[in-house]
Amino acid sequence: GTETLRFRTVAPGDVGLLKQFGDSLSPAGRDFFCPYPWEDADRLDEALANGIGQSVRGVDLSFLLFSNDRPAGHFFLWKAGGNPHSLAHGVQIPELGVAISDANQGRGLGALAVRLLVVIARHLGADAVELTTALTNSSGWNTYLKAGFEHVGNIRNPLGVDVTAAALGAVQATAFREERQMVHVLK
């Protein structure tokens, strides 16, 4: 049959779909894409519900990508509604995150999600978009370079938490990883 691809913003009640998406990621995939505590069942539902709430309130913009009505990707612009950390420096720079299910890797869907997020950020008037990626994530690295992102250095990134909230001291990270920091300047 014919495949149908569609994407939409996350909505209240999508915790189950996001968990289904998380289950479609290998342990390595969950390690690369770790804005949520995938391995902590006690905290996962609350973290996913909080992420959905942040998008519904317009703080973040978070999306699900479906292939024939099954979650195939999850991507977002954290702080698309205003990043307090970057705004303190006079610029608006949301943070990009993209993950594609293992079964849908290598089809260009990650590159499509990145292009969509850059267009959305530009439409919202962002000055740039930034991201971090694991040093071992070569496919993500290549996708981001092809999309116009530049490597600006490596940082020690908190894992399993909202990075902006961690920078503001609102949440405490318990795990960290050295990652490449990349930026795509829009203005």
Per-residue pLDDT, 81: 87
Q: What is the pTM of this model?
A: 0.89
Instruction: Kindly report the length of the chain.
Output: 187
Which residues of the chain form beta strands (DSSP E)? 5-9, 61-67, 70-78, 95-100, 128-134, 150-158, 176-185
148 strand-pairing partners: none
Structure confidence by residue, pLDDT tens digits, 27-64:
999 988 988 889 889 999 999 999 999 999 999 999 99
| Token reading at 124 | 């919202």
87-126 pLDDT tens trace: 888 999 999 999 999 999 999 999 999 999 999 999 999 9
Nearest to 69 by CA among 135, 154, 8: 8
- With contact defined as beta carbons under 8 Å apart, do 128 and 185 qualify? yes
